[in-house]
A and B are shown apart, each in its own frame.
Chain A
Amino acid sequence: NAGVTQTPKFRILKIGQSMTLQCAQDMNHNYMYWYRQDPGMGLKLIYYSVGAGITDKGEVPNGYNVSRSTTEDFPLRLELAAPSQTSVYFCASSIVAGGYEQYFGPGTRLTVT
Chain B
Amino acid sequence: QQQVKQSPQSLIVQKGGISIINCAYENTAFDYFPWYQQFPGKGPALLIAIRPDVSEKKEGRFTISFNKSAKQFSLHIMDSQPGDSATYFCAAGPGGYQKVTFGIGTKLQVIP
Q: Which residues of A contact B (CB under 8 A)?
A: 4, 31, 33, 35, 40-45, 48, 50, 58, 90, 92, 96-99, 101-102, 104-107
B97 touches A42 (CB 8 A): no
Cα distance A46–B44 in the bound complex, in angstroms: 16
B42 touches A106 (CB 8 A): yes
Q: Which of B56-95 contact A (CB under 8 A)?
A: 89, 93-95
Count, chain B residues at interface, CB 8 A: 27
Q: Which of B1-57 contact A (CB under 8 A)?
A: 6, 9, 31-32, 34, 41-46, 49, 51
B31 touches A107 (CB 8 A): no
| Interface SS of B by simple majority | loop
Could you name 12 residue pairs across A and B whose Cβ atoms are closer than 8 Å? A40-B104, A42-B6, A43-B44, A45-B101, A48-B99, A58-B99, A90-B44, A97-B93, A97-B100, A99-B31, A101-B46, A107-B42
B96: CB under 8 A from chain A? yes
CB-CB under 8 A from B104, the residues of chain A are 40-42
Instruction: Evaluate whether A98 and B32 lie within 8 angstroms (CB atoms) in the complex, with A45-B99, A90-B43, A90-B44 already known.
Output: yes
Most buried by A among B6, B43, B46, B93: B43
Nearest CB of chain B from residue A50's CB, rounded to whole Å: 6
Instruction: Evaluate whether A99 and B93 lie within 8 angstroms (CB atoms) in the complex, with A33-B99, A40-B9, A42-B6 already known.
Output: yes
